[in-house]
Every structure is written in C-alpha cells, then in structure tokens.
Amino acid sequence: MAPPLLTLKDIRLTFGGDPLLAGAALDVREGDRVALVGRNGSGKSTLLKIAAGLVEPDGGERTLRGGVSMRYLEQEPSFEGYRTIDEAVRSGLNDTDDHAFIGHVMEDLGLDPARAPVGLSGGEGRRVALARALAPRPDILLLDEPTNHLDLGVIEWLEDHLRSARAALVLISHDRMFLTRVTTRTVWLDRGETRSLDKGFGAFEDWRDETYEQEERDAHKLDRQIVREEHWLTYGVTARRKRNVRRLGELQGLRQKRATLRRPQGAVTMAAAEAEGSGKRVIETKGLTFSYAERPIVEDLSIRIDRGDRIGIAGPNGAGKTTLVKLMTGQIEPQSGEVVHGTRLELTTLDQQREGLTEGVRLVDAVTGGRGDMVSVGGEQRHAMSYLKDFLFRPEQARQPVSALSGGERGRLALAIALARPSNVLILDEPTNDLDLETLDVLEEALDAYQGTVILVSHDRDFLDRIVTSTLVPVPEEGEGRWREYPGGYSDMKRQRAGQPAEDEAAQKTAPAAPRVQTRTAKLSFKEQHALDTLPDTIASLEAEIEALQAELADPALFTAKPDRFAAASKRLDAAQGELSGAEDQWLELEEKREALAS
C-alpha cells in the first residue's frame, strides 16, 4: 500500500494555558474525502492550518509525501495585490497546468475574469477563492467552510465537482447535506483528540451519540467502582483487621482517574420565549410587487401564512429573499399590491448580518439592553450570566466586548437575544451561519417546540428539510420576480420542480405504537438483593486470583519448565477476567436498579 499523501501524528498545541490539541492525528490517502468535524472552538481550523503548513504546533509530526501538491481554502480569503480576478485565480500556477480547465471553472462559478477583486460580496469572494484552490488540480484540497456565503446552485455544482475530482479532500463544513453527499471518511476532533470513522458524515451523528453514551456508561461504572471500593474498605473483613494498603492505593487511583476524566462540552440550552397566540391569519400578500432599478424582485405574489406555518425561503444570492421578508413584515412598502397582517402579532427578527450586535458592547449588556445584570426571558427575570451559560458562554466572557467573539459565538449570542423576546412570529434570516452541528440540533428542537409561526431564510438544505412545512422559491422560467410556494422542505421542492410528487409524510408514518406500560417492584427481589450483597466478595476473590495468575505467568521460566501449567494458567486468566467483567457489570446494574427504586 502506498504511504499516505499527508500525515499528522500526535499534534499538540496550547492556547492561553489550555490544550487545544492534545495528540490529534490525521492521515490523508489517495481518493480520501474526509469530513473533519467537531464543536466550534474545538480546533478544526487550526488543525487544517497545521495540515497546510501554515501553523507550527507545539509538538508532533507533519509529513507530506514528496511531490504532492496541496491547496488550502481559508475562511477569510484575501486578494490584496491582484489587479483582476483572473490574476488572483491563476496565481501560483505554472505552464504545465491546464489553463483551459481554469477558464471553465471560472465560467461555472459565474466569475468575470476581468473584474477587479475589490468590493466583492461574501459569496463572490468565496467563489474566487474556490476557483483559486481548484485551478491547479492539486493532489490534496484542504477546504475550510467552502459553502459559506454560496447560494444553493453553486453548492450543488461544488458537490458534483468534488465527487468527480481526483484530489484527496479534507472538508470542514456545517452543511450536513454537503458533507453527507461528498465525504467517505470522518475524523472527529473532540476535546483535543481525534477519532476516525471509515464512513462518510452520514454515519457520524449516530456514531457520536453512541460514543457519548458509552463514555457516560464508563463514567458511571467508574463512579460505582469507587463506591464499591469505599464500601469494601469501610466494611470488608480485611479492612476491619488491617487496612489494605494496595486497595487504598487503587481507590486513590480510581479517584484520580475520575477527577481527570474529560466530559463532553456542555450542550446549548435553547428555547424561544412565546407571546400570546396570534390570530389564525398571520401574513397575507395580494399582488405584491417590488422592483429595484427596474429589476423585478417580487412580481404579483399572493400567498397566505397562517398561525403555526413554517415557511422556508430559498434561492440564489441576489434573488431578493431578504427583501421579500422585509416586504412581508412591513419594513419596506410594496410598489403595488398589499400586505395584510393578522391580529396580535409579536414579531422577533434575527437578521443575516447580525446587525443587532454592536462591536464594543459587552455580552452582558447585549442581552440585557444595558439595563443591569438581569434579562427578561419570556417575561421571567433571569440573571444574564445564567442565561449566557445556556448558550455555552463562559462567565469570564460576559464582560468581554462583542468584537472578541468568533463567528459561531456571534451566532449563539444573536440567537440568545432574539429568543429571549416573547414572540408568536419568528423571522430567521440565515440563522445557521457559523453554528456547529450540535447547536443546530438544539435550534431545531427549539423551533420544533415553538408554537408560533416561523419564516426562515436559509441556504442550509438539511435544516430546511427538517424545519419547514412549505418552501418559497423564485421561478425565473415563469418570469423575472416570480415566486412559487411548494409544500414540504427543500428536497420536496426539488422533486416537484423536477416533475416528481412530494413525499407524502403521512403515508410514510406508521401508526404510533401504544405506550409501553412499565411496572417495577417496590424493592429488589430476594435473589437480586443476595447477589448485590455477595458480588463484592466475588469480585474481590476474582481480582486476587487474577493478580496471582498474572504474577505466575510473569515467570519467564514457566513456559519452558511447565508448558502445561502455563497453558492452563493462561486459559484460566482469560476466563477469570471475563468473569470479573461480568460480575462488575451485574453489580453495577443492580446498584442502578436499587438507586432507581429508592428515588
């Protein structure tokens, strides 16, 4: 087997006294399409920069196979010093590169090669950076949030291009559908260390949840082992005669292990504060029409949004999605037609640019409006520090300015401010920007529990599929400025536009199973209580036997002098270790049951 194109081994890096990377690893082989995933702040971008040779770690090894070419797409690309987009894209190329291919890439990405690369929008800058990364057809592509600011058509083009590219890929993205469609391996950066899964991102979330559940079981098992050792040292026969120094040492070791056990980062706690319900009709447009500089943005749109509807608005950049929302909510007056609002509307808006956040304002003042340390959340008073903690902000961050926050932290702060306001209509413009996967999950759960109406603008196809009940998109084939509403999420809309029916969710769902009635006895059975009382002695006996067998097998002369005894002792050691594991598991299960019955 050929050696990897790129290898990172035992990478260590510390920022501000805390280890960001603590033995992280990554190997990239020919044909790999790797999803690099992890919480915001876990070090994904830093690890990718180390892979690109742009950041020097405190320790570890980086090996790039000789002759391997690499391109890195950063989150914030710079085109300073280039006169044209063409010059920026072709920088670093040589005469052997396929310049015709480069021209096709710029054309596919809708770029004007002669345009100066100044004053570009976020989406335009991202497309220029992508063209520059793809241009030389490198052996390795390292892509940090390649879909940021891209519209859906370009994202789908990029998916197709990367699936057919010869380059090995390492991708960081918060776009679940993009990762699912492109990747074949997953590397999870968690608490400074990496775990690898030989499956694409589609299998990651189940694997992550199983890993966390196993860690919780292991932690609980360790807790119960400590309880058992403390019980044995206090009440055991040997303990009453003389303190067992070895068992005391083992107990201290267990306590030390428990103290240093690293738990997963806490989860965001998120819920939307709700006002009194609105009337049945929320927003209705009749012949809504609006143009910019004679370019139709909305043409003769008539739709009705009722209480509890979840409307997704999707479309390419520049289609007028945000303008349409402003027309619906009365922030912009239509040039013709009308917008009718229902009764008792309480609107809360999360804007795409997070304009409600002021750079120099402290986080605590941002959530309280500068009115002390208390924030009203759904009409209830809460301390701002406690509320910020729900969104994973550390106590010391509460007094920091907004300017010190990362993109993901800004997204969480904007959500904290918006969701604290009582509402019955939520207007969310690109709420998923820069949010990590776990925070997206919690936001979905909060919106699922929200009883009001949601109007959602998003490029995140998976998020749209999970949240909305209908999708509003531009239909240029029917005329400029024309929009149409399709039932279902983004994928349903695509199927309908392709001439296929939307999935009938009702037909997909089976009748709910009858609730399972659980009965439990008021106490352990006699047999269970006897086992709980006697298992500690059984475990102690097995531990002593294992220790004796290990000591016997450690004699190097045993195998030569007594091969039969060596074989028997080895066999018994394996069996005793299995019996010990089973006895420990049985004792822990009975302890858990006893605790549950006592609660």
Residues in the annotated binding site: 38-45, 315-322
> For residues 317 and 151, what is the distance between their CA atoms, to the nearest angstrom?
5
CA distances from 346 to 120, 275, 379, 429, 469 (A): 36, 7, 13, 17, 21
Q: What token pair was written down for 519?
A: 């009965």
Q: Are 192 and 43 in contact (CB under 8 A)?
A: yes
CA–chain centroid gap for 53, Å, is: 26
Residues 6+ apart with CB under 8 A from 83: 116
3-state secondary structure of 28: strand
Binding residues for ATP: 38-45, 315-322
> For residues 279 and 298, what is the distance between their CA atoms, to the nearest angstrom?
26
3-state secondary structure of 145: coil
Q: Are 129 and 82 in contact (CB under 8 A)?
A: no
Alpha helices in 382-457 (DSSP H): 384-390, 407-420, 437-449
Residues 6+ apart with CB under 8 A from 463: 176, 432, 440, 444, 456
> For residues 223 and 532, what is the distance between their CA atoms, to the nearest angstrom?
16
Structural Rg of the chain based on CA atoms: 30
The string of DSSP codes covering 503-556 is P-HHHHSPPPPPPPPP---SS--HHHHHHHHHHHHHHHHHHHHHHHHHHHHT-T
Alpha helices in 27-109 (DSSP H): 44-51, 85-89, 99-108
Q: What token pair was written down for 46?
A: 């830093």
User: Of 494, 495, 471, 496, whose CA–CA distance to 484 is shortest?
Assistant: 471
Residue 457, strand partner residues: 313, 429
Residues 6+ apart with CB under 8 A from 488: 468, 469, 470, 471, 496, 502, 503, 505
> For residues 482 and 301, what is the distance between their CA atoms, to the nearest angstrom?
7
User: Of 133, 129, 143, whose CA–CA distance to 77 is shortest?
Assistant: 129
Instruction: Classify residue 433 by its DSSP letter.
Output: T
Residue 34, strand partner residues: 170, 185
Residue 111, strand partner residues: none
Tell me how crowded residue 186 is: count the other CB atoms within 10 A of its CB: 23
Please tell me the chain's helix, strand, coil percentages from 3-state DSSP, rounded to the nearest 5.
45, 20, 35
- 213-226: b or e for each residue (b if 16 or more CB lie within 10 Å)? eeeeeeeeeeebbe
